[in-house]
Structure 1
Amino acid sequence: MQDSWYGDRMAGLRERKKARTHAAISDAAIALFLDRGYDQVSVAEVAEAAEVSKRTVFAYFPAKEDLVVHRFADHEAEQARVVRGRPPGTGPLTALRDHFLAGLRDRDPVTGLNDVPQILALTRMVRETPALRTRAVRFQEGAGKALAQALRETAGVPELTARLAATQVVAVHWLLSMDNHRALADGQSADDRFSAALADADHAFAVLAEGLAGYL
C-alpha cells in the first residue's frame, strides 16, 4: 500500500514537472516571438531562454510552429464537444450558436473579441506568418473532422451532409473571429465591438440555419 502511494506521488510530481517545463518553454518562446518576430527567433534561442536543451524543446514541441499553435489546440475539438454535450431537445446548430454567443460575452480569445494586448499580438502573428497560418488551417481541418463525426454520431446526419455542414460551421467561426480581431487591431475596444460582433454572429448563424434547414 505504501509503495503504491509512493509510486502515485512520484508520478504526480513528474507530471507537474513536465507541465512546468512545457509552460516555461512556451512562455519563453511566445515572449521572444512577440518581441522580435517569429521568423527572427531560432529554436536554439528559445531553448536558451527557457534554460533547457534544444532536444528538450523538441521533446515537448515537435515543430517550431507548435510553440505557438499549441495555445489553440484545446479548441480543435471544442465544437464537437459542444454538439456532443448539448442539452436534450437542442439542435446542433442552435447549441453551436449559443456557445459562440456565450464566448463573445465572456471575451473568449477564440471568438476574436479579446483586446488583451498579448492576445491581440499573438493572433496577429498567426495571421501574418505563413507557417503559422498553414498550421492554423490544419487545426480548422481537424475541427471540421471532429465536428462532422459528432454530427453523425449524435444527430444521425449522413456522412457527406455532416462534412458539408461542419466545413461551413468552422469557416463561419473563423470568419467571425477574424472580423472581430481586425476590428480590435484597428483600435476598437472589445466592449465597443461587442454589439456588432453579436449582430454579425446572429446573422451568420441565421444564414447557416436557412441553408442547412432540414439537415441539422
Structure 2
Amino acid sequence: MTGLRELQRQRVHEAISTAAVALFLERGFDEVPVTEVAAAAGVSKPTLFKYFPTKEDLVLHRIADHQGEAARVVRQRAPHERPLEALRRHFLDGLARHDPVTGLNDDPEVLAFNRMVFSTPSLVARLFRHMSLDEQALAEALAETTDDLTADLVAGQVLAAQRVLARRNVELLVEGRPLEEVEREAVRAAERAFSLLPSEV
C-alpha cells in the first residue's frame, strides 16, 4: 500500500508540475495565478501547496536533483584528484552532455525554461536560495581538505562561476547562435573560469 500511495503522490506531483510549466512558458511566470495552475492540474489550491510550498517551487523543483551536487563531486572524486579539478571535470562533462543545468541545451522547451528562470526576478531570487544551500554544502566538503575560510571563499567562487557560465550559455543560444559554436565558447569560458580559482585547492 505504501508503494501505491507513493506512486500516486509522484503522479500528482508530476501532473501539477507539467501543467504549471506549460502555462508559465506559454504566458509568463508572473501572468499565471496559482489557482489556474491548480485547475489545469485537476487539484485544489490547498492540495497544490501541499506538493509545492511556493509558486517558485513549481518551477525550480526541476533542479532539485542537482541539490548538493558540487559537494558530492568533491567527496566522490578519484584518489589524488584535487577538489577543484574534480569540479572542473564535472562541469566540462556536463557541457559535453548538454546538461540543461549548464545552460548549454538548445531544446526549445529547455531553452524557454532557462530563459524564463533567468529573466524572472522571483525565480532568480529563489535560485540564489538554492545556491546558498549548495554553497554551504560545498564549503563543508572543501573544509575536509583545507581551512574553513578558504573553503567558504572557494565554494562561493565556484558556484558563482557556474551560474555566470550557465547564464551566458543561455543568452548566446537565445541569440540564435548554433549549439556547436556556443559549445566551443562555453568550454573555453569554463576553462578560463576555473583557471582563475586557486590552484592549490
- TM bin, normalised by shorter chain, reads over 0.9
Distance 1:30 1:169 in 2: 29
Match of 2:29 among 18, 21, 38: 38
Amino acid at match of 1:126: V
CA distance in 1, matches of 2:162, 2:43: 37
Displacement of 1:169 in angstroms is: 0.3
1:101 aligns with 2:92: yes
Paired amino acid for 1:144: E
Shift of 1:189: 2.6
Counterpart CA distance in 2 for 1:128 and 1:198 is: 24
Two-structure CA RMSD over aligned residues (Å): 0.9
From 177, 181, 195, the counterpart of 1:192: 181
SS in 1 for 2:66: coil
Shift of 1:206: 1.1
Question: What is the distance in 1 between the residues matched to 2:188 and 2:95?
Answer: 11
The alpha-carbon deviation at position 42 of structure 1 amounts to 0.9
Q: Give the one of 154, 158, 179 matched to 2:147.
A: 158
Q: Please give the per-residue CA displacement for 1:22-66, whole angstroms capped at 9, x wherever unaligned.
A: 000000000001111111111110110000111110000001110
- 2:194 maps to 205
Moved over 4 A (4+): none
Amino acid in the other structure paired with 2:133 = G
- 1:66 and 1:92 map into 2 onto residues whose CA distance is 31
Q: Which residue of 2 aligns with 1:85?
A: 76
Aligned residues: 201
TM-fit CA distance, 1:76: 2.4
The code of the aligned residue for 1:175 comes to V
Q: 1:139 aligns with which of 130, 153, 160?
A: 130
| Whole-Å separation in 2 of the counterparts to 1:78 and 1:47 | 31
**Aligned with 1:176 (options 156, 165, 169):** 165
Contact 2:104–2:170 (CA under 8 A) maintained in structure 1: yes
- 2:102 is aligned to 111
Task: Structure 1: state its 5+ residue gaps.
Answer: 1-9
Residues 1:27 and 2:22 aligned together: no
The answer on whether the counterparts of 2:84 and 2:199 sit within 8 Å (CA) in structure 1 is no
* Percent identity (aligned): 52
Displacement of 1:75: 1.6
- Structure 1 counterpart of 2:35, one-letter code: A
